[in-house]
Amino acid sequence: MNQNDVTPAQELSVGQILRQEREQRQLSLEQAAQQLNLRVEVLRSLEDDQPDSSILPTFMRGYLKAYARFLKLPAQPLLQQFEQQHQVKSAPVKQMRTFSNRSARQRTEKRFMWLTWLIVSIIMLSLALWFWQSARDSGLSVADALNSQAASNPSDPAAVVTVPTEMVVPTSEPTTELSNEPVPEQDSGNVSSEQLVADLAQLPVATQQQLLALSQPAVEEPAATESFGDSRNAGLDVLKMTFTDNCWIDVVDANGERIAYGTKQAGYVMELNAKAPFVITLGNPGVVSIELNQQPYDMSRFPGNRVAKFTLPGQPD
């Protein structure tokens, strides 16, 4: 055999090496392409050493590597020979980022978090102090306004009654007991407020204080009894409700009119003359006793301290 007829393995191209190995394994291009899930044209271009220009070199290197592994050939030498043969440069390997400074970043974030909480706490404390100071100043200003008004208007009976200590009276007179002598009657419609203050200033201090106590307006208590409707109308139903404690109520008659509403105090008695049926809502049914047309209604089935809504039928026609 002539030495020129022998082609060394080193002079074989990448495509020749792939074709030779495939033929030794008695595989067709179609079989290899089916195993690799590639198109036949891609494998043929690799064996013909004519890579498809429409395919990026990065993908061609991946196809070559997969074909070499399929044929049990070392992939790295073939890749190097392919790059030298076709002047293809490998993509530069990007340096991976390190996360070694993660703990330092976490410490920085922790400092910022504590600083944020500190600022928020200072702001909240400042707001609370400002509200407290404003409330205190407003209370002092109201008291000062009342005192200044009473001092500037000593002749006003209302101001004298509201702030008795600010009334201008002589302090040289001794304190004596309340005299039993009758006070001369005067026409209150023709007497001015200045004359009343002058007459009051001439009386002893103890007498003045007693008269001022009697002149204080009495606090009007809510009426203990309330009546609604015409009690003389025999065609109306009579609903009587007695309260032993505070209770919110709402009563609607047959015409859809709200005839009672609001909070009723302890000891309150309410009599409603209207047309039944009545739709009643009670906030605390345990403190209410009900009579309809002088017949007591059983309230024991309603638990106390729970809202109850029910309907009371009226007298038959």
Query: pLDDT above 70 covers what percent of the chain?
Result: 64
Domain ranges of the chain: 8-86, 112-152, 154-173+194-218, 225-312
More confident residue, 286 or 177: 286
Helix 14-24 to helix 75-86 angle (10° resolution) is 140
pLDDT per residue as tens digits for the range 45-80 = 888 888 777 888 888 888 888 988 888 888 888 888
pLDDT per residue as tens digits for the range 147-200 = 665 555 555 444 444 434 444 444 444 444 444 455 455 444 455 555 655 665
Neighbouring-strand partners of residue 252 = 258, 279
Torsion on CA atoms 279, 281, 286, 287, rounded to nearest 10:
-100
User: DSSP character for 286?
Assistant: G
Report the mean per-residue pLDDT for the chain: 74
Helix 40-47 to helix 14-24 angle (10° resolution) is 120
Select from 3.30.360.10, 3.40.50.10800, 3.20.20.140, 1.10.260.40 the CATH code of 8-86: 1.10.260.40
State the pLDDT at residue 1: 39
Q: Which pTM value belongs to this model?
A: 0.32
How many C-beta atoms surround the C-beta of residue 212 within 10 A? Answer: 15
Q: What are phi and psi of 198, to 5 degrees?
A: -65, -45
Helix 57-70 to helix 75-86 angle (10° resolution) is 140
pLDDT per residue as tens digits for the range 110-161 = 898 999 999 999 999 999 999 998 888 777 666 666 566 555 555 544 444 4
Query: pLDDT above 90 covers what percent of the chain?
Result: 16
